[in-house]
């Protein structure tokens, strides 16, 4: 034991000096220590060599995404297709590949610039986008295993889903949510999961365009809808009126009880969506600042449990607003105003 | 034979519905619909289970009935059997938002 301790503490030169003046028995122990010490140092040097590139990547990599865009070539396989564009490579001939690459970049930038978050897991996770999934596939989804799939659309309901900055921000945010609160994808916690993706998807777009809360359109999916769902999929400003088939409620008065879509996760998300819109427009300025920060603080709070209800989430947003901006701050007042407007008790 | 198709979820969150008489289907789709009714176990699921944490997957529900016989199926985008995809594509083409 003591030999190992010596090996960890004493420099080789000092061990040699000690061995010179020691009795034969002590000299033997010190020489064995030196051998061990040499082995340890060699191992350490090897490990340092292996870690070197990772350390430099982490040091230089914070603030730089690691995007990998794959061409699924209309396959419905969930395995990675052909790598079409990797981080740092220039544009390719395929517009969908480039759109996915760029929109992931805008998403990463919002999370890094504003919330100092390094990718999906805050540890620089690779961002994998799988483009041209299926044939005329009118959807985009997060698979729960680190991959985001994008269809080309059927041209009627949806068009190329990679075109939507908010769509890509929405899907990547599902990954962030999974790594943080891991909100259960059903009922109210599922609707919160969906709403958080809409909120940050919208913030990605607003930040990229430099739009303040009063200039933003607060529409979701406006860039990817086909004629059947035009002009947008959802409206955070006016839930239920984004398109002729939009049935989102704007308050708890219209909460929809259904077994469809995991308990209406894309329907009842209109309620917390509208609360965020009210908070943002009540405060004015840029929505990614105080409103976004409060929502992000809530999402990353250990107090937010996977089975959170609207009331629990709302209460936590108020708590975070008070904690960061003060109990009597206008930010805290705005949060209360937002939840009051949608009739969620805090 | 009657087919009742409901598609929900997905990023759009729009529910689509189609109620189709078997006579409207092509021969190939009609044969498959018949197999769904007589050999349902072969089409219940395929592939790996959907990982927890997945979001925005489309859910497909299909009920096939003829006389007293009826079979119901429920798949997501990730576990639809490949053999069923052409029929779902046909039904998707006939479905309208509700």
Encode pLDDT of A308-332 as tens digits. Answer: 999 999 999 999 999 999 999 999 9
B50: contact with A, CB 8 A cutoff: yes
First to last CA, chain A: 59
Q: Which of A66, A170, A171, A208 is catalytic?
A: A171
- DSSP letters, A277-295, are HHHHHHH-S-TTTHHHHHH
| pLDDT confidence bin for A5, thresholds 50/70/90 | very low
Locate tokens 């993706």: which residue?
A197
The reply to whether B98 touches chain A by the CB within 8 Å rule is: yes
Instruction: pLDDT band for B52, please (50, 70, 90 cuts).
Output: confident
Do the strands B2-9 and A234-235 form a parallel or antiparallel pair, or are they unpaired?
Answer: unpaired
How does residue A193 score in pLDDT terms, banded at 50, 70 and 90?
very high
Between A32-46, A93-107, A331-345, B30-44, the lowest mean confidence (pLDDT) is in: A32-46
- What's residue A81's pLDDT? 98
Estimate the crossing angle of helix A261-268 against helix A187-209, to 10 degrees. 40
Chain A within 8 Å of B89 (Cβ-Cβ)?
A: yes
Catalytic residue among A147, A266, A274, A331: A266
A171 annotated active-site: yes
Compute, in degrees rounded to 10, the torsion defined by CA atoms A210, A215, A218, A219: -90
Q: Residue A276: which of A206, A218, A315 has the closest Cα?
A: A218
pLDDT of residue B78: 86
| CA–CA distance, B56 with B41 (Å, rounded to integer) | 26
Mean pLDDT computed over A267-273: 98
Residue A55 has pLDDT above 80, yes or no: no
**Residue range B34-39: mean pLDDT, rounded:** 96
Are A141 and B85 in contact (CB < 8 Å)?
no
A264 touches A240 (CB < 8 A): no
d(CA A69, CA A125): 14
- Chain A from 179 to 238: CB within 8 A of any B CB: 182, 185, 193-194, 197, 221, 228-229, 233-234
Please give the pLDDT value at position B47: 53
pLDDT at B58: 95
Chain B residues with CB-CB distance to A139 below 8 A: 10-12, 56-58, 77
Each residue's pLDDT tens digit, A280-318: 999 999 999 999 999 999 999 999 999 999 999 999 999
Predicted local distance difference test score (pLDDT) of residue B44: 84
With CB atoms and an 8 Å threshold, state whether B14 touches A157.
yes
Q: Which residues pair with B69 in a beta bridge?
A: B66
In chain A, which residues have their Cβ closer than 8 Å to the Cβ of B50?
143-144
Q: How confident is the model at residue A20 (pLDDT cuts 50, 70, 90)?
A: very low
Q: Report the candidate in A146, A170, A290, A287 with the shortest Cα–Cα distance to residue A234.
A: A170
pLDDT of residue A17: 45
Contact indicator for A262, A191 with CB cutoff of 8 Å: no
Taking CA atoms, what residue in B is nearest to A248? B13
Answer yes or no: A35 catalytic. no
Given a cut of 90, is residue A56 above it in pLDDT?
Answer: no
What are the pLDDT digits (tens) for A204-226?
999 999 999 999 999 999 999 99
Both tokens of residue A84?
């079409």
CA-closest candidate to residue A275, choices A233, A310, A300: A310
Q: How far, in Å, are A52, A149, A175, B41 from residue B46 at the CA level?
A: 44, 19, 25, 11
Is pLDDT larger for residue A69 or for residue A62?
A69
pLDDT for A43 beyond 90: no
pLDDT band at A160 (very low <50, low <70, confident <90, very high): very high
CA atoms of A279 and A13, how far apart (whole Å): 66
Dump pLDDT digits (tens) for B68-97.
Answer: 999 999 999 888 999 999 999 999 999 999
For residues A224-251, one letter each, b for 16 or more C-beta atoms within 10 angstroms of the residue's C-beta and e for the rest, the string is bbeebbeebbbbbbbbbebbebbbbbbb
> Using 50, 70 and 90 to split pLDDT, how confident is the model at A112?
very high
Per-window interface: A 5-64 vs B, CB < 8 A: none
Report the pLDDT value the prediction gives residue B46, as an integer from 0 to 100: 57
Domains within chain A, CATH numbers bracketed:
2-60 (no CATH), 65-176 (3.10.170.10), 180-346 (1.10.390.10)
Which chain A residues contact residue B6 at CB under 8 A? 260
């Amino acid at each position: 034991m003591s030999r190992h301790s010596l090996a960890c503490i004493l420099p080789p030169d000092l061990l040699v000096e000690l061995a010179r003046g020691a009795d034969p028995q002590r000299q033997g122990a010190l020489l064995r220590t030196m051998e061990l010490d040499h082995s340890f140092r060699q191992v350490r040097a090897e490990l340092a060599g292996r870690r070197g590139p990772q350390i430099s990547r982490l040091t230089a990599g914070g603030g730089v995404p690691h995007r990998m865009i794959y061409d699924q070539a209309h396959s419905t396989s969930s395995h990675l297709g052909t790598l079409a564009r990797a981080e740092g490579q220039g544009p390719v001939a395929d517009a969908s590949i480039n759109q996915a690459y760029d929109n992931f970049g805008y998403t990463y930038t919002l999370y890094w610039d504003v919330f100092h978050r390094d990718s999906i897991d805050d540890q620089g996770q690779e961002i994998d986008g799988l483009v041209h999934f299926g044939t005329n596939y009118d959807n985009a989804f997060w698979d729960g295993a680190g991959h985001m799939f994008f269809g080309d659309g059927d041209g009627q309901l949806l068009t190329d889903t990679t075109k939507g900055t908010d769509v890509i921000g929405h899907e990547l945010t599902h990954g962030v949510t999974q790594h943080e609160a891991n909100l259960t994808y059903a009922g109210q916690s599922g609707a919160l999961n969906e709403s958080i993706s809409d909120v940050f998807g919208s913030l990605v777009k607003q930040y990229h365009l430099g739009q303040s809360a009063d200039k933003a359109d607060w529409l979701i999916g406006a860039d990817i809808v086909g004629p059947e769902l035009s002009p947008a999929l959802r409206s955070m400003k006016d839930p239920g009126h984004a398109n002729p088939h939009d049935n989102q409620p704007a308050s708890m008065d219209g909460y929809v009880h259904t077994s469809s879509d995991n308990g209406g996760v894309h329907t009842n998300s209109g309620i917390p969506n509208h609360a965020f819109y009210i908070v943002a427009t009540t405060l004015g300025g840029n929505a990614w600042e105080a409103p976004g920060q409060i929502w992000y603080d809530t999402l990353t709070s250990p107090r937010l449990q996977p089975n959170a209800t609207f009331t629990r989430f709302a209460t936590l947003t108020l708590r975070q607003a008070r904690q960061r901006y003060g109990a009597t701050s206008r930010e805290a007042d705005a949060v209360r105003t937002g939840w009051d407007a949608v009739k969620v008790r805090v | 034979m009657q087919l009742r198709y409901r598609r929900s979820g997905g990023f759009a969150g729009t529910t689509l519905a189609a109620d189709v008489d078997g006579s409207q289907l092509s021969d190939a789709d009609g044969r498959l619909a018949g197999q769904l009714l007589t050999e349902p176990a072969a089409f219940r699921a395929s592939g790996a289970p959907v990982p927890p944490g997945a979001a925005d997957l489309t859910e497909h529900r299909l009920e096939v009935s003829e006389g007293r016989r009826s079979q119901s199926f429920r798949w997501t985008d990730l576990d639809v059997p490949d053999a069923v995809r052409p029929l779902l594509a046909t039904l998707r083409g006939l479905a309208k938002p509700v």
